[in-house]
Amino acid sequence: MKVIRTIAEFRNHRESFGKLGFVPTMGALHQGHLSLMEQSAKENDTSAISIFVNPLQFGPNEDLSKYPRQEAEDLEMASSVGVKVAFCPSVEEMLGRNTTSVTVSGVSDLFEGEKRPGHFTGVATIVAQLFGIVQPNVAYFGLKDLQQCAVIRQMVDDLCIPVELKFCETVREPSGLAMSSRNNYFSPDEFERASNLNRVIVVCAKEIAEDFENRKSAIESAINELANLEFEVQYLELVNSLTMQPVTDQKVGQILSQKLGQTEKESNPYRIIVAAQFCGVRLIDNVPLPNPLAN
């Protein structure tokens, strides 16, 4: 495993990497990251990661200083799934002279964008910079951060960045809890109970797919059930994951009267998204709306 800490050194080596797959991370790696890396190693000549805890995407009241840092362990884990290059720059190296920022409007506006002002500008700015440094052929992102995927897709499209994007399904604990670095903050009991978040939105998605007209009451009862289970829900909504807008009535026909095009049938864009505070930890998750046409 080659560890590179400066932009200049990465540039010097880039050509020798051939077709390059790239998984940007903030470290604290878990199985979700590793599955992206495994796929990247399979599909490219070289698989690279970055480990950079990006201060730009943390709000003033968020957990930047508390964010787990475990570089040696992360490098070992990445290496075990075929990663050959790790770009691990300092904050000074990345942001020392940075006065440009990238804001992707529209897809950034609601949900996480609303709850975490500036977050997606921080993400888009650093990902654009990383793409400029690493020049990957293919970049891999987990769908757990659904809105982040939409923001990066839009940014790459708008700025004509020559990279292929792959968005991969969320890796979960056996209980259904989405893997996340923040799960480390839970006690064993809290860890078990946190899986209710996924269970409730899976049921909600199924209810809406079966009875779209009653989606508002399905969403309301999911929010109530989560409240009874000690989740403080910040949002729970049915969205089109490409636009990150709530699904409107006009979409009813498209979803349920079997008028979806072939592409939409294959990659159903409709998802239930949720964010909630549980035992002092902020969790997000999302699941696809089961598509009657997919069966």
* 269 is a site residue for ligand PAF (CB under 6 A): no
- Vertex 249: Cα angle to 248 and 253 (nearest 5): 115
| Binding track over 49-88 against ligand PAF, x by CB under 6 A | -----x--x-------------------------------
- Which token pair is 272? 């239930």
Marked catalytic residue, from 13, 30, 33, 119 = 33
Tally Cβ neighbours within 10 Å of residue 15: 8
* 4 is a site residue for ligand PAF (CB under 6 A): no
* 247 is a site residue for ligand PAF (CB under 6 A): no
Secondary structure, 3-state, 12-29: HHHHHHCCEEEEEECCCC
Query: What is the C-alpha to C-alpha distance for residues 277 and 235, in angstroms, rounded to an integer?
Result: 10
Q: How many residues bind ligand PAF (CB under 6 A)?
A: 10
Q: Of 50 and 291, which has the nearer Cβ to ligand PAF?
A: 50
* 127 is a site residue for ligand PAF (CB under 6 A): yes
* 26 is a site residue for ligand PAF (CB under 6 A): yes
Strands of 164-168's sheet in order across: 2-4, 85-87, 46-51, 20-25, 138-142, 164-168
* 13 is known as an active-site residue: no
Tally Cβ neighbours within 10 Å of residue 139: 25
Residue 129 exposure: Cα atoms within 13 Å on the Cβ side: 25
Please check whether residue 128 is in contact with residue 101, taking contact to mean a CB–CB distance below 8 angstroms. Answer: no
Please check whether residue 45 is in contact with residue 20, taking contact to mean a CB–CB distance below 8 angstroms. Answer: yes
Give the shortest CB-196-to-ligand PAF separation in angstroms.
Answer: 24
Query: What is the C-alpha to C-alpha distance for residues 68 and 185, in angstroms, rounded to an integer?
Result: 10
Residue choice 4, 104, 123, 149 for contact with ligand PAF (CB under 6 A): 123
Question: Ramachandran region of residue 248, left (φ > 0), alpha (ψ -120 to 50) or beta?
Answer: beta
* 24 is a site residue for ligand PAF (CB under 6 A): yes
Please, what's the largest Cα pairwise distance for the chain? 58
Residue choice 86, 110, 126, 218 for contact with ligand PAF (CB under 6 A): 126
Residue choice 38, 74, 145, 207 for contact with ligand PAF (CB under 6 A): 145
Which among 89-97, 99-107, 123-131, 183-191 is the span making contact with ligand PAF, rule CB under 6 A? Answer: 123-131
Q: Of 22 and 278, which has the nearer Cβ to ligand PAF?
A: 22
* 154 is a site residue for ligand PAF (CB under 6 A): no
* 150 is a site residue for ligand PAF (CB under 6 A): no
Q: Of 24 and 288, which has the nearer Cβ to ligand PAF?
A: 24
* 35 is a site residue for ligand PAF (CB under 6 A): no
Query: What is the C-alpha to C-alpha distance for residues 293 and 262, in angstroms, rounded to an integer?
Result: 10
Query: So which residues are the catalytic ones?
Result: 33
Q: Using CB under 6 A as the criterion, which residues of the chain lie in contact with ligand PAF when the complex forms?
A: 24-26, 54, 57, 123, 126-127, 145, 148
